[in-house]
Amino acid sequence: MNDLIYLSATECIERFRTGALSPVDVLEAQLAQAALVDGSLNAFTETMADSARARAEDSERRYRDGTARALEGVTVAAKEKHQIAGMEVVEASNAWAGYTATANAPVIDRLLDAGAIIHARTATPEFSIAAFTHSDRWGVTRNPWNTAFSPGGSSGGSGAALAAGMTTLATASDIGGSTRGPAAFTGNVGYKAPYGRIPGAGPMSVDYYRGDGPMGRTVDDVVLFTNVISGPDPRDHVALRPKVTLPSSYPGVEGLRIALNLDLGGFVVADEIRENTRRVAEELAKAGAEIVEVDFTWTRELIIGAAMPHFGHMMGAMVHDAIGGKTSDLSDYARDFVEQTREIRATAAMFDAAKAEYAVQQELARVMTGFDALLCPTTAAVGFPAGDTLINGIDIDGHTVSGLEGTLTLPFNITNRCPVLAVPSGHAENGMPTGVQIVGHTYDDATVFRVGKAVERLLPWAYTDEHRPQL
């Protein structure tokens, strides 16, 4: 297998600067890899090979001229919903005509201004509303580690492309776990930045559950990516100012107090995920962190009771507005979502969500008081079967739970001023990666990266020859 396809962004940039490697070589290797494997994975909705090659040649010149920018020559696969001027946006839907973008999304502008090469767009579920990635329009996206499973959603195409060596970085977004779930299921690093850190496109940018963000194969890559796309933007006036630049290096975890929880207050969590999470905690303890197991008193019912009215009045209303009544043309799970959220809007006010959200936020504050960060699993299940709508739930070690309970990400969208870094924790017996979330106090981005970097050092998961999907 061509090692170029799995080089990290930081490694690429170092080699580009010395002239030991050309951006053209990496791009061509990844385009060749996509041609070889994406027929079975379905991670890309389209590639832009010609424009990418032109940018790669320009990047090669910039390295020679000494005018290289922060992400010069690094390939990035963009989530299809992140609009690119002149390109169609359809959000995987047959029920919506979509539109041709007249401007770039803020994250796209930041990437292009930093010299990145956007060479492909990645698949999502319809309107990015699901924790898996398939649709009637684009078909089923599969996980490179085990193609019987989904890469998660909604940024599943991005996660699959990274795991398969089809890109160096990928854009993602997160409103209920859409960055962190795919990162866990595909063995990548995903960052849910605190609300306002990374500018978004309206009107959904005003939804305080969501945010655009980075996905990569290493913590260093995600730090670099975050620093490029964060900061204020006149198109999104809630974007925080001044811009915060994350450090490129971090001390160890000696002296940090880290809370550990394995089930977030009673969720059913697969034993293999519990074991891998505890192993991460044990390694952090050996490295000098104080690990204390904690309990949550919130319930699954409280969390779902907070989220569903919010989703009903925001995402559900957005989809309803977009499709103009064409529910029969939706994928089955999207149709179910529209009907369910319509009923919720009729029976629950946004203030009902706010009351429950406040209770969730207060409980997280209580649990994290006296600690620097919280460590917990990213998902409850070791994978979602590819093509399954999860309408009938998901089996976890003999227990059937709702699809919404297959990931453990939602509480931290309700508490979305808290940064959360998702990093790999190991593998399950079925070959699927598992992951942990590192949750920080409000707007304390640096601490979650400090802990994440320590986990990466203690339990390395780099895509070496012996640790790659067997495609």
Quote the distance between the C-alpha of residue 173 and its chain's center.
6
Distance CA 284, CA 295 (A): 19
Distance CA 217, CA 465 (A): 15
Torsion of CA 157, 171, 303, 372, to 10 degrees: 130
79 is catalytic: yes
**The length of the chain, given as a count of residues:** 471
Distances (CA, A) of 78 to 118, 170, 189, 455: 7, 6, 16, 27
Residues in Cβ contact with 58 at an 8 Å cutoff, skipping those fewer than 6 apart: none
Helix or strand or coil: residue 196?
Answer: coil
Amino acid at 240: L
Distance CA 182, CA 178 (A): 7
Distances (CA, A) of 2 to 25, 33, 339, 430, 453: 11, 9, 47, 25, 26
Map tokens 């009923």 to a residue: 343
Distance CA 76, CA 216 (A): 10
Catalytic residue among 59, 135, 154, 155: 154
Catalytic residue among 8, 79, 155, 173: 79
DSSP per residue, 323-385 = HTT-GGGS-HHHHHHHHHHHHHHHH--HHHHHHHHHHHHHHHHHHHTT-SEEEEESBSSS--B
Q: Which of 304, 310, 315, 314 is nearest to 91 (CA)?
A: 315
Catalytic residue among 59, 178, 205, 230: 178
Helix or strand or coil: residue 171?
Answer: strand
154 is catalytic: yes
185 contacts 58 by C-beta, under 8 angstroms: no
Q: Which residues are catalytic?
A: 79, 154, 178
